[in-house]
Amino acid sequence: MIPAALEGKSFGWLLECASDAMFIANRDGHILLANPPMERLFGYTREQLASCTIEDLLPERFRDAHRTQRAGYSKAPGRRTMGSGLELSGRRQDGSEFPVDVSLSPLGIDALVLATVHDITRRREAEEALAREDRQLRENEARIRAIVETAVDSIITIDEHGIVDTFNSAAERLFGYHAAEVIGRNVSMLMPAPYREQHDGYLARYLASGEKKIIGIGREVLGLRKDGTTFPMDLAVAETRFGARRLFTGMVRDISERKRAEERQARLLQEISSANEELRNFAYVVSHDLKAPLRAIGSLADWIATDNADKFDAEGQEHLRLLISRVRRMDGLIDGILQYSRVGRLKETQVAVDLDALVHEVIDLLHPAENITVHIDNTLPTVVAERTRLQQVFQNLLSNAIKYLDKPRGEIHVGCKAENGAWRFHVSDNGPGIEARHFDRIFQLFQTLAPRDRVESTGVGLALVKKIVEMYGGRIWLESEVGRGSTFYFTLSRTAAGASIPHGEAS
């Protein structure tokens, strides 16, 4: 039912046609008319709204303040928005709350007012989302600033004209400028000639053609400090676009120490190359200038011993025997030195070496005495390596085991086991054994434990084995018990040496 004050007016029709929630209330806040959108928004029927006041549509905490505001509005009515600068909420019949905007328009009839109510939930959610994004953006900017300022590397940002936009603390320390002295100026001030003159042209060509020489690639260039000194640096540049604007961020690292290290390394390599050349010359001298007269001495001593033995007494014959023995030992020492010097210097073609067949060949070559038995405990693998080097390893280890055996029956075992990505080989014997204090010494050049008048040895064999094993990235060691024998272990990487697994061997 339309109140008397509104009879004959078109307000009812206006409210019915409106898409916004609207109602008309009197000076006491009683709702006189409400439209369907108003019913849907608050959850009341039109009849229920007719028995409500405006305060009934507000959360209880706002009602007293609203009555005061309503009284003030009645004294000076006018078109305005309620709740300006305040949070204004509506309360539905089910008790739920939602943010609203309310526009008031006086009707000029008995202090009646037309109110238009807008649910601004979505707008408020969008505002809060924007606020969160803005807050997150500020936090990200703060984090980025902190990272840039605390970075070890110098970070410099320029625009598409080469003008410095940011200059962090590391850049200040590196170039000797305060940021204020650089920001706003062309970055070419940090470059010596000819880079300074080339920079703007390079940047212009990149912007025009996209041709990259540094951006996204990085390179070594020279930097120029405030004091005029130059230094080598690594420069990496990344491009960032902000709409039509382009920024280029350069990461700069002083590589002076690295360059000095490279120069030291180059000098060291040159020294090594010179040493290798001297070693090659030495090996040539040893093999030609020393062995030739030594062979002549040996041949002469053999001739004297054969054709003139009856002219020497016992002491003379012993001296002659010692002479021949010393000549042969000297010849063996020279051969050992030559073999040792060639390891790692003279390269052979690496081939697939069947170690099972190789060890059998070595045993046949050494031809152990009948009282010595050599057992191969399991099938040995095939590896890719220099065949001669691996032959030297097994020949020296087996030769030592045979040479030093002191038991009526000699037992030598050769075997292999896969272990931690490598092959672990062993050569064991039941000989005299070695005291632990000699474990390191025996791998040194020219070191022997037995007196040379009892066992002839140059002291090169185990040093040669160690050098070959380590050349292939392996290691060698031994376990021994005096009186019971020794076991020499050495490893070869299965991947580095290209080893294959023998049949029946678990990895």
Query: In whole angstroms, what is the distance from residue 498 CA to residue 507 CA?
Result: 14
Q: What pLDDT is attached to residue 378?
A: 92
Query: In whole angstroms, what is the distance from residue 438 CA to residue 192 CA?
Result: 62
Specify whether 206 is located in the same domain as 277.
no
Query: In whole angstroms, what is the distance from residue 487 CA to residue 120 CA?
Result: 88
User: What does the block give as tokens for 274?
Assistant: 């010179």
Out of 254, 276, 305, a domain closes at 254
Instruction: Compute the Cα dihedral for 339, 343, 349, 355 and give only its sign.
Output: positive
Specify whether 359 is located in the same domain as 480.
yes
Specify whether 477 is located in the same domain as 375.
yes
Which residues on adjacent β-strands are paired with residue 154?
252
> 507 lies in a domain?
no
List, for residues 205-220, the tens digit of each pLDDT value.
Answer: 777 666 655 554 557 8
> 456 lies in a domain?
yes
Specify whether 263 is located in the same domain as 298.
yes
Count CB neighbours of 285 within 10 A. Answer: 11
List, for residues 448-461, the tens digit of each pLDDT value.
Answer: 655 444 445 566 77
Q: Which residues of the chain have pLDDT under 50?
A: 1, 83-85, 216, 451-455, 496-507
Buried/exposed 54-77: b ≥16 CB within 10 Å, e otherwise: bbbbbeeebbeebbeebeebeeeb
CB 250 within 8 A of CB 244: no
Query: In whole angstroms, what is the distance from residue 278 CA to residue 273 CA?
Result: 9
Q: What pLDDT is attached to residue 210?
A: 61
> 132 lies in a domain?
no
Instruction: Compute the Cα dihedral for 325, 327, 333, 339 and give only its sign.
Output: negative
**C-alpha to C-alpha distances, 416 to 372, 392, 419, 463, 489, nearest whole angstrom:** 21, 17, 9, 21, 9
> 215 lies in a domain?
yes
Specify whether 474 is located in the same domain as 357.
yes
Out of 69, 99, 119, a domain closes at 119
Query: In whole angstroms, what is the distance from residue 148 CA to residue 165 CA?
Result: 13
How many distinct structural domains can be found in the chain? Answer: 4
Specify whether 249 is located in the same domain as 267.
no
> 128 lies in a domain?
no
CATH number at residue 278: 1.10.287
Identify the residue whose tokens are 């439209």.
35
> 100 lies in a domain?
yes
CB 79 within 8 A of CB 104: yes
> 504 lies in a domain?
no
> 338 lies in a domain?
yes
User: What does the block give as tokens for 242?
Assistant: 């902000």
Q: Which segments within 360-446 are labelled E, that is strand? A: 372-376, 382-385, 410-419, 422-429
Amino acid at 83: G
Specify whether 239 is located in the same domain as 357.
no
Specify whether 244 is located in the same domain as 370.
no
Q: What pLDDT is attached to residue 5?
A: 55
Quote the domain boundaries for residue 320. Answer: 259-342
